Amino acid sequence: MPQTHLEAWQDLTWPEVKTDKPLPMSEGVIDQGAFNIIEVDKLFDAVNHAATTVGQATLYRSLTQPLATFAGVQAKQDAVKELQDNSTLKTQIQELIEQAAKTEDKLYLLLFGQHVGSFSTAREKHEIEGYGYREYRNGVKFVLDLIAKAATINAPQSSYLASVIAKLKAFADSRYYTLMQGPVYVSEGNIRTKAEQGGIKFPVPVIFKPTIFKPVVLTCTFLLVWLASTFAEAAIGIGTPAAAIFLGPLTLLYLPIVGGFDRENCINPLRNLFKKAEPLGEMLGALGQLDELMAFVKFAETFPHSTVLPQLESGKHHRIKLAAAVNPVLGKTNAEYVANDFKLDDENLVLLTGPNSGGKTAFCKTLTQIQVLAQIGCYVPAKSAALTVADRIFYQVPEISHLDDGEGRFGTELKRTKEIFLATTSKSLVVLDELSEGTTFEEKMEASINTLNGFYRKGNSTVLITHNHQLVDHFVKEGAGVPLQVEFAKDAPTYRLVTGISCISHAARVAKKIGFSKEDIDNYLAKDQ
């Protein structure tokens, strides 16, 4: 069972959103290499409409570790659909999240805050001044108010949403909830609820209440002052004003004694208990899951292009079909972003050619980002989408060799390609940006053909980005690949995918655009003479 966010935050000074990492290759849907190339951090920023810290952390965890099962993705989709269809339930959950977002930090201050001293002033959000009474009350109130709000939510129909609401409400049955409600009994380092204290009389417990004003203690203090002043009057003839002589010192002693006792023996032990409480971690996790679902809904409502929940398909190998697909990151800020259709069905090899800056890489990131979004149960930017759940999503780009790898660029890339090949199955999605760089053309052709044949025989969905049109010709003649190219019109990219093989690189156009064509080089040299 994965750890809760509260468990992941144990050693931090304050909760962080991006604490999760992709799982190692062959253990998760994406590995660190694919995570970086697909730009999952940017994808998170594009989709993130979560209002709470734990909601954002939940969304980030989902993106770093997408679901790998049909049932898991379908369950989250059903939950999103219910929120869209049931306006009452959607409003109830939205109100709960908005309430939690306003005071969530108060719980974190209780759990993670650092005391700055009884007479110091807190200057940072994680600092606690005084004895911590206010922070305790506010942190506990956040939880009690959240559970009270959760109790008013109607029972959902979808299994995923029902289980999340149940986890949220279940905290009310925990010992920690009872401790937060109070009263709390403390004796000899033991913390008990009222029921646990029961008939235990000795040792006499302290009944903790989160306030410096203790009626019983204050009464005893003033009684002690009165007795002292009466004794002084009778013994040495000092009048009634002697009470003031004793009241000042006793008051000065009262605050640090009572406040210090409560902080060290009640507040700190309780906050440490809550911080490690599994039910509280589960409750926070449920809040995060609700916030994540609402983030999906808000993403769909605010994205400037069409969005849809993909139709999930089952099959022996990976398939994907998209109509008017848009990049989730770039399309968010560009209402004119060019959409593309794409289909990978029985043909499991697509060969994508075209000049630089034509949109090949952008589309492949669109494809993989959509697959990731689909596998966290989110809407995807397209007019329609149907796909299978991929067990692995890989994306390889040319790598620069390191001085200590001993293999050179060709060997460095081949190692990565081998790792991907061995980890894939027929249900995997693989994007390869060029192959066999760093060797002769003849060897590049041979190695690339061997590699692509291997992926083709495995049966997974493979997309190759390449300028090597001879390589594409080979596979098209073999009937083992679908050729697509990025369209250019009047030497300018349209950013559309069309059928065919591009034999033009437009390298001269790109060189001229950035000011490093043959003419530019000649001009630079002429200036130096």
Q: What is the pLDDT of residue 213?
A: 75
Same-domain status, 398 and 481: yes
pTM above 0.85, yes or no: yes
Same-domain status, 337 and 247: no
Distance CA 241, CA 239 (A): 6
The region of weakest confidence among 79-88, 240-249, 375-384 is: 240-249
3 state SS of 111: helix
3 state SS of 493: strand
Distance CA 193, CA 185 (A): 6
Asked if residues 363 and 357 have their Cβ atoms less than 8 Å apart, the reply is no
If one counts the domains in the chain, the total is 3
CATH code of 494's domain: 3.40.50.300
Same-domain status, 240 and 129: no
pLDDT at 233 > cutoff 70 = no
Same-domain status, 287 and 310: no
Same-domain status, 323 and 432: yes
Q: What is the pLDDT of residue 232?
A: 55
Same-domain status, 258 and 329: no
The letter for the amino acid at 264 is: E
| DSSP character at residue 474 | H
| Residues 107, 113, 115: CA angle, nearest 5 degrees | 135
Q: Is the peptide bond before 205 cis (omega within 30 degrees of 0)?
A: no
Q: What is the pLDDT of residue 252?
A: 63
Domain for residue 127, yes or no?
Answer: yes
Q: Is the peptide bond before 203 cis (omega within 30 degrees of 0)?
A: yes
Read off the pLDDT of residues 434-491 as tens digits, 9 standing for 90 and up: 886 666 778 888 888 999 999 999 999 999 999 888 999 999 998 888 999 999 887 7
Domain for residue 188, yes or no?
Answer: no
Look at the block and give the residue holding tokens 């969905």.
Answer: 461
User: What token pair was written down for 204?
Assistant: 């006499």
Domain for residue 158, yes or no?
Answer: yes
Domain for residue 184, yes or no?
Answer: no
Residue 528's H or E segment, with its range, is helix 518-528
Same-domain status, 15 and 63: yes
User: Average pLDDT, whole number, for the chain?
Assistant: 88
CATH code of 24's domain: 1.10.1420.10
Same-domain status, 312 and 444: yes
Domain for residue 472, yes or no?
Answer: yes
Distance CA 398, CA 410 (A): 9
Q: What are the start-end ranges of the H helices in 65-181?
A: 70-85, 87-112, 133-150, 159-170, 175-181
Same-domain status, 261 and 282: no
Q: What pLDDT band is residue 218 in, cutting at 50, 70 and 90?
A: very low
The region of weakest confidence among 246-255, 361-370, 381-390 is: 246-255
Read off the pLDDT of residues 236-285 as tens digits, 9 standing for 90 and up: 555 545 555 555 565 666 677 888 888 999 999 999 999 999 999 999 99
Read off the pLDDT of residues 139-187 as tens digits, 9 standing for 90 and up: 999 999 999 999 999 999 999 999 999 999 999 999 999 999 999 999 8
| 450 contacts: CB under 8 Å, gap ≥ 6 | none
| DSSP character at residue 29 | S
- Exposure string (b/e) for 312-340, b if CB count within 10 Å is 16 or more? beeeebbbbbbbbbbbbbbbbeeeebbbb
Q: What is the pLDDT of residue 401?
A: 52
What range does the domain containing 250 cover? 207-272
User: What token pair was written down for 82?
Assistant: 């219910």
**Residue of higher predicted confidence among 297 and 116:** 297
Orientation of helix 441-458 relative to helix 469-477, angle to 10° = 40
What would the 3-class secondary structure string for 414-449 be? HHHHHHHHHHCCCCCEEEEECCCCCCCHHHHHHHHH
- Exposure string (b/e) for 266-280, b if CB count within 10 Å is 16 or more? bbebbbeebbebebb
Q: What are phi and psi of 429, to 5 degrees?
A: -115, 125
Domain for residue 450, yes or no?
Answer: yes
